[in-house]
Structure 1
Amino acid sequence: MKGRSLPEGGRVALALLMATLALVVLRNLLPDPLIRLPQTLILPFADWINAVFAFARDDLGLMRVTRAFSDVVEVCLDVTANLLYGKSRWPRLGPIPWVVIAASAAVAGHALAGWRLAALAGGTFIWIAVMGQWKWAMETLSVILVAAPFSVALGLALGMLAWHSRRAERVLNPILNIAQSLPHFAYMIPVVVFIGVGPKAGAIVTIIFSVPPMIRMTLLGLRAVPAEIIESGRMSGTTRLQLMTRVRLPAARTELLIGVNQVIMQSLAMVVLASFIGMPGLGQKLLQLLQALKIGLSVEIGITIVLLAIVLDRMSKAWAVRQPSHHDEGSGWLQRHRHLAVWAGLVGLGFALVTLHPYFAVVERAQALSMAGPVDAAVGAFIDMVSPVTDWLRWFLITWVLIPLRDGFLWLPVSAVLVFLAGIGWAVGGPRSALICLAFFLPIALSGWWDRAMITVYTVFVAVTLALLIGVPLGLLGAARPGRARRFLLICDTLQTFPSFIYLIPVVMLFGVNDVAVIAAVMVFATVPIIRYTIEGLRSIPPEIVESAQMSGAGPGQILWHVKLPLAVPTLMVGANQSIMFALFMVIIAAFIGTQDLGQEMQRALSSTDVGKGLVLGFAVAFMGLMADHLLLKWARGRGT
Structure 2
Amino acid sequence: MSVLDQDLKTPIRLRSLTWLRAPWLFWGGLLILTWAVSHYAFDIYRALDARWIIRFPATWQPDFESRITAFMDWLLHDAQLFGILFRDVTRAISAVIEAPYDLVVDVLVTGLQQGIGQQAVQILPPLSWVAVIFTVTAVGHYTKSWSMAVLMGLCFTYLAVFGQWESAMLTLASVLIAVPIAAGGGLLLGVLAFRVRWVDRAMRPILDLMQTVPVFAYLVPILFMFGFGPVSALVATIIYAMPPMIRVTIVALRGVPEELAELGRMVGCTRRQQMWKVLVPSAKPMLMVGVNQVIMLTLNMVIIASMIGAGGLGYDVLTALRRLDIGGGVEAGLAIVVLAIALDRLSQAYAGRTVTQKAAQSQGGFAMRHRWSLSIIAVILVTGLIGAAASWLQTYPDALVINTGQIWENAIGYINVNYFDTLDAAKTFLLTWFLLPVRQFFVGIPWPWGLMAMTLIGLRVGGWKLSLLVFVLTGLIVLSGLWDKAMMTVYLCGASVVIASAIGIPLGLLAASNPVSNRIVGAFIDTLQTLPSFVYLIPVVMLFRVGDFSAMIAIVAYALAPAVRYAAHGIRSIDPQIIEAGIVSGCTRGQLMRRIKLPMILPELLLGLNQTIMLALSMLVITALVGTRDLGQEVYIALTRANTGQGIVAGLSVAFIAIIADRLLEAAAKRMRKQMGMA
Structure 1 residues 407 and 92, CA gap change in structure 2 (3 angstroms): farther
Structure 1 residues 422 and 375, CA gap change in structure 2 (3 angstroms): same
Percent identity among equivalent residues? 39
- Out of 180, 190, 197, the position equivalent to 1:166 is 197
Structure 1 residues 309 and 137, CA gap change in structure 2 (3 angstroms): same
AA matched with 2:91: R
2:523 matches 1:503: no
Deviation for aligned residue 1:494: 3.6
- Out of 570, 573, 591, the position equivalent to 1:558 is 591
User: Could you list the runs of 5+ residues in structure 1 that have no partner in the other structure?
Assistant: none
Match in the other structure for 1:29: 44
Distance in 1, matches of 2:20 and 2:433, equals 36
- Out of 150, 153, 158, the position equivalent to 1:119 is 150
Distance in 2, matches of 1:89 and 1:69, equals 24
Deviation for aligned residue 1:582: 0.6
Structure 1 residues 8 and 315, CA gap change in structure 2 (3 angstroms): farther
Match in the other structure for 2:617: 584
2:70 matches 1:51: yes
AA matched with 1:111: Y
Contact 1:272/1:284 (<8 A) preserved: yes
SS in 2 for 1:448: coil
Deviation for aligned residue 1:204: 1.1
AA matched with 1:478: A
SS in 2 for 1:559: helix
AA matched with 1:48: R
AA matched with 1:206: T
SS in 2 for 1:326: helix
Deviation for aligned residue 1:111: 2.0
Deviation for aligned residue 1:511: 0.9
Contact 1:19/1:419 (<8 A) preserved: no
Deviation for aligned residue 1:428: 1.3
2:475 matches 1:442: yes
Any residues of structure 2 matched to 1:252-401 within 5 Å, and which? Answer: 252-324=283-355, 325-327=358-360, 331-344=364-377, 346-347=379-380, 350-351=383-384, 354=387, 357-363=390-396, 365=398, 367-398=400-431, 401=434
AA matched with 1:266: L
Match in the other structure for 1:518: 551
- Out of 249, 270, 294, the position equivalent to 2:280 is 249
Q: Which moved more, 1:22-31 or 1:235-244?
A: 22-31
Match in the other structure for 2:677: none
Deviation for aligned residue 1:94: 3.9
Distance in 2, matches of 1:437 and 1:379, equals 45
Deviation for aligned residue 1:367: 4.8
SS in 2 for 1:309: helix
Contact 2:528/2:557 (<8 A) preserved: no
2:651 matches 1:618: yes
Structure 1 residues 203 and 109, CA gap change in structure 2 (3 angstroms): same
- Out of 214, 219, 226, the position equivalent to 1:183 is 214
AA matched with 2:604: T
Deviation for aligned residue 1:556: 0.8
Structure 1 residues 350 and 487, CA gap change in structure 2 (3 angstroms): farther
TM-score normalised by structure 2 residue count? 0.89
AA matched with 2:236: V
Contact 2:324/2:538 (<8 A) preserved: no
Distance in 1, matches of 2:66 and 2:668, equals 37
AA matched with 2:392: Y
Deviation for aligned residue 1:426: 2.1
Contact 2:91/2:226 (<8 A) preserved: yes
Contact 2:563/2:608 (<8 A) preserved: yes
Match in the other structure for 1:232: 263
- Out of 57, 74, 81, the position equivalent to 2:98 is 74
- How many equivalent residue pairs? 637
Q: Which moved more, 1:374-383 or 1:516-525?
A: 374-383
Contact 2:559/2:612 (<8 A) preserved: yes
Distance in 1, matches of 2:471 and 2:123, equals 58
How big is each residue's C-alpha offset from its partner over 1:175-216, in whole Å with a ceiling of 9 and x where there is no partner?
A: 001111111111111110111111111111111111111111
Structure 1 residues 521 and 19, CA gap change in structure 2 (3 angstroms): closer
2:110 matches 1:86: yes
AA matched with 1:59: A
Contact 2:329/2:535 (<8 A) preserved: no
Distance in 1, matches of 2:324 and 2:35, equals 45
Contact 1:151/1:211 (<8 A) preserved: yes
Q: Which moved more, 1:420-429 or 1:381-390?
A: 420-429
Distance in 2, matches of 1:395 and 1:415, equals 33
Contact 1:452/1:596 (<8 A) preserved: yes
Distance in 2, matches of 1:212 and 1:508, equals 32
Deviation for aligned residue 1:387: 1.0
Match in the other structure for 1:630: 663
Q: Which moved more, 1:246-255 or 1:521-530?
A: 246-255
Distance in 2, matches of 1:281 and 1:491, equals 26
Distance in 1, matches of 2:241 and 2:169, equals 20
Any residues of structure 2 matched to 1:450-465 within 5 Å, and which? Answer: 450-465=483-498
SS in 2 for 1:588: helix
2:239 matches 1:208: yes
Match in the other structure for 1:104: 135
Contact 1:478/1:488 (<8 A) preserved: yes
Match in the other structure for 1:537: 570
Distance in 1, matches of 2:361 and 2:200, equals 44
SS in 2 for 1:132: coil
Deviation for aligned residue 1:402: 3.1
Distance in 2, matches of 1:10 and 1:368, equals 71
Q: Which moved more, 1:455-464 or 1:417-426?
A: 417-426
Match in the other structure for 1:640: 673
SS in 2 for 1:370: coil
Deviation for aligned residue 1:377: 2.0
Distance in 2, matches of 1:536 and 1:285, equals 37
Distance in 1, matches of 2:265 and 2:438, equals 64
Match in the other structure for 1:423: 456
Contact 1:313/1:497 (<8 A) preserved: no
User: Could you list the runs of 5+ residues in structure 2 that have no partner in the other structure?
Assistant: 1-6, 8-13, 115-121, 675-679
Structure 1 residues 307 and 330, CA gap change in structure 2 (3 angstroms): closer
SS in 1 for 2:601: helix
2:35 matches 1:11: no
Distance in 2, matches of 1:246 and 1:624, equals 42
AA matched with 1:627: I
Match in the other structure for 2:165: 134
Structure 1 residues 545 and 352, CA gap change in structure 2 (3 angstroms): farther
AA matched with 2:303: V
AA matched with 1:71: A
AA matched with 1:233: G
Distance in 1, matches of 2:92 and 2:564, equals 46
Distance in 2, matches of 1:89 and 1:236, equals 53
Q: Which moved more, 1:6-15 or 1:95-104?
A: 6-15
Deviation for aligned residue 1:557: 0.9
Distance in 1, matches of 2:123 and 2:289, equals 34
Contact 1:327/1:336 (<8 A) preserved: no
Structure 1 residues 575 and 270, CA gap change in structure 2 (3 angstroms): same
Deviation for aligned residue 1:519: 0.8
Match in the other structure for 1:40: 59
Structure 1 residues 346 and 563, CA gap change in structure 2 (3 angstroms): farther
SS in 1 for 2:539: helix
Match in the other structure for 2:248: 217
Q: RMSD value over aligned CA atoms? A: 2.4
Distance in 2, matches of 1:79 and 1:303, equals 27
Deviation for aligned residue 1:497: 2.4
